[in-house]
Structure 1
């Protein structure tokens, strides 16, 4: 699954045209309200004045959660406000004027989606959790650095933005050898850094 997703992303990047030498645009940080619930996320459902109907449950692999009185409700792929509205409408048959809130208490699915991947001529190709402030150098060092067969001057940062993907030139040779941090770009969730092997 991971390999196929990575192949699709790199394929999209390859079809995006030539590599850009300038810095990549900063990825927009999604507001919590626009976060789509995923499988394994933990959600808390509360019903005002009806504490017995409140639950805290993980989203099942089928994308559903089980809610007292109304049964299964689809949660995966929806924002919390929409799930709350669905539950509220179903509860109206049992509770007068229900007021429902859905709160994400543990974003487990986000851990998979928000990763940075380093592939190619590195000691250990890795997929690491994204952290604010992480840079290309941080990710490459987490992969153990480049191998003796690497062509660090041809490294690229691949980023998907909306419906398009772009590749940005990273002079990893200058970053590692000269301390030139001009292309040590901040990374974003979903970025893929590739370090090719040199041509012998």
Structure 2
């Protein structure tokens, strides 16, 4: 499988077997968890915190304009601290805010001494901070921007769906949480039926879809994990 080392596959398999053999399943479940947690969330990360709107993140490119004032139309790249530089206003915190929130903030700043009833419009020209990678048995593997709250099924749809060789029970979501790499397996058929949650996808997530008939160690990991419904630290 592209992007996966043999060592990582062996570790995945070992973790799965360890989970099966555990004599204290309740304690293990409490330790490992039953829902893959969201990644680290910081002001500049652009992470979603339950909102449906896209939240601006570091390195996003914004196009900002003020109705009737052509001189104020410009582009601003969000820096690593979540800040943008705006003419007449100076540095403004953009990271972590939705577009309407940022438009309101800039409108208020301009209205403080520069313009009367300014109408600020912001367009995200480049979604850089929030991207998801899809690998394996999808029709168009690649890296895709997240422009709003996105679920696993929606992310797969961005790659034009699963290909004819996809294993519906062979979907693994990789995520970094508090500096630790984690993985959770999903059965897409069960998700579609509503028997399994359709998890939310975050920036930098990696989704790998295994192919039917695979005999790899990764396949053995998938054979065990969906029945457990657990996520694992790698």
Query: So what's the TM-score if we normalise by structure 2?
Result: 0.48
The one of 18, 30, 35 equivalent to 1:23 is: 35
Q: Deviation at 1:194?
A: 0.8
Q: SS where residue 145 of structure 1 aligns?
A: coil
* Pairwise CA RMSD: 4.0
Aligned length: 150
Q: SS where residue 173 of structure 1 aligns?
A: helix
Q: Residues 112 and 38 of structure 1: is their aligned pair in 2 closer, same or farther, counting only changes over 3 Å? A: closer
Q: SS where residue 133 of structure 2 aligns?
A: strand
**2:200 maps to 1:197:** no
Q: Deviation at 1:181?
A: 4.3
Following TM superposition, where does structure 1 have runs of at least 4 consecutive aligned residues deviating by more than 6 angstroms?
A: 33-36
Look up the match of 1:116. Answer: 132
Look up the match of 1:171. Answer: 187
Look up the match of 1:51. Answer: none
Structure 1 residues 7-156: aligned runs within 5 Å: 7=3, 14=8, 17-18=11-12, 22-31=34-43, 37-38=58-59, 40=61, 58-59=76-77, 76-80=79-83, 101-103=90-92, 104=94, 111-156=127-172
- Name the structure where strand makes up a greater proportion of residues: 2
Retained in 2: the 8 A contact 1:16–1:164? no
Structure 2 CA distance for aligned equivalents of residues 117 and 184 of structure 1: 17
Retained in 2: the 8 A contact 1:155–1:170? yes
Q: Residues 152 and 55 of structure 1: is their aligned pair in 2 closer, same or farther, counting only changes over 3 Å? A: closer
Look up the match of 1:90. Answer: none
Q: Deviation at 1:135?
A: 0.8
Q: Residues 175 and 76 of structure 1: is their aligned pair in 2 closer, same or farther, counting only changes over 3 Å? A: closer
Retained in 2: the 8 A contact 1:151–1:197? yes
